Amino acid sequence: MNSITDVPGIRVGQAQHEEGMTGVTVILVPEGAVAGVDVRGAAPGTRETDLLNPANLVEKVNAIALCGGSAFGLAAAQGVVNYLQERGYGFETPFGKVPIVPAAVIYDLGLGEHDAYPDPLMGYLACSVADKTVMEGNFGAGAGASIGKVLGNDSAMKSGEGTASTTLNLVLPNGPSYSYTVGALAVTNAFGDVYDGDRIIAGACRHSDGEFLNTMQMFRDGLVPLAPSNGNTTLGVVATDAPLTKAQACRLAMMAQDGLARAIQPVHTMFDGDVVFALSTGGLPPTAETNPLLLTLLGSLAADVLCKAIQRSVTEARPAGGLPAARHKN
């Protein structure tokens, strides 16, 4: 399906407020997946990411929630927790199971209804429709996403959500062979422009004629924006069925961040809160270490599919909120 749900054990649920232009995307792994995270943006909004530090206790999460609504949208994660608790999923404690749901948000308050936020009910609803199909473009947390905001909304273009996957087949000399899936999902709400190679495919543009402004060229020419948008952030989740430790999942997330750098320029700015999560549904490796070459290949492919997911998040978006989209620039 060329989707993150090609990874065994992954389901995705999406819910959105179309008029409010905000929403929630839940990557659901009820039985638990080893998780890591890498935060590169300077303005992140997150929940329970400290738990994913390899030095800390809990090994697995039950879901990842990606939300619109800036800090207000973190409330949607409680609905995910409620959904999992009702079904008996979570980290075992002496007084019951506690669902582990890290979350991150994008700032989408500048589009749609600025006081429409994802809430616990929206998070719960996203879980209730989770399956193997991922709707790309203006769905879930991508409902209010936009890019190319060097001149604020006057230059912005509508973006959204995208997904991609690939398969790794590796035969080591005089060693074992491996076959694993690597998938990615992205919610692209970036300050910068989105590229395919050296070509801008979506980003800051003149709404009158759809011509791209080229944010990086503006910077090279010394054209400093008067009022850049501080409401940005690209969120990514990469997943694999290869067994990984928490430390290795964090390394996978770190390598996957290269996908943002390939697809978005500029990226990881002071106006972005870029966060990438990594999930392993294959559990913990039978020994303390996964083969370093295998982890290198997994991380390289994770960056590749996350780049593709970002590109799809803009090519599948539809015009909305007065913003053009890559499909219909003019």
Would the pLDDT of 21 be above 70?
yes
Distance CA 229, CA 269 (A): 11
- The pLDDT-based confidence of 161 (bands split at 50, 70, 90) is very high
Q: Is the pTM of this model over 0.85?
A: yes
Mean pLDDT of the 211-223 span: 93
Q: Are 26 and 141 in contact (CB under 8 A)?
A: no
pLDDT digit string, tens, across residues 218-251: 999 998 766 666 689 999 999 999 999 999 999 9
Q: pLDDT class for 208, splitting at 50, 70, 90?
A: confident
- pLDDT average, residue stretch 172-200: 93
Residue 298 has pLDDT above 50, yes or no: yes
Helices (H), 47-180: 76-86, 120-128
User: What number is the average pLDDT over the span 162-171?
Assistant: 95
Determine the length of the chain.
330
pLDDT tens per residue, range 102-122: 999 999 998 999 899 999 999
What's the CA gap between 119 and 117, in Å, rounded? 6
d(CA 169, CA 253): 20
Ordered DSSP codes for 175-188: S-EEEEEEEEEEEE
- High-pLDDT (> 90) share of the chain, %: 85
> Is 60 exceeded by the pLDDT of residue 56?
yes
The DSSP code sequence of 187-234 is EEE-SSEEEETTEEEESSB-TTT--B--HHHHHHTT---SS-----EE
pLDDT of residue 330: 47
pLDDT (average), residues 34-38: 98
For the beta carbon of residue 266, count every other beta carbon within 10 angstroms: 17
Nearest to 45 by CA among 206, 189, 220: 189
Q: What is the DSSP-derived secondary structure letter of residue 49?
A: -
Rounded alpha-carbon distances, angstroms, from residue 249 to 4, 161, 260: 16, 23, 17
Cα torsion through 311, 321, 142, 68, rounded to 10: 140
Which tokens sit at 279?
């999930």
Q: State the pLDDT confidence band at 177, using cuts at 50, 70 and 90.
A: confident
pLDDT of residue 226: 60
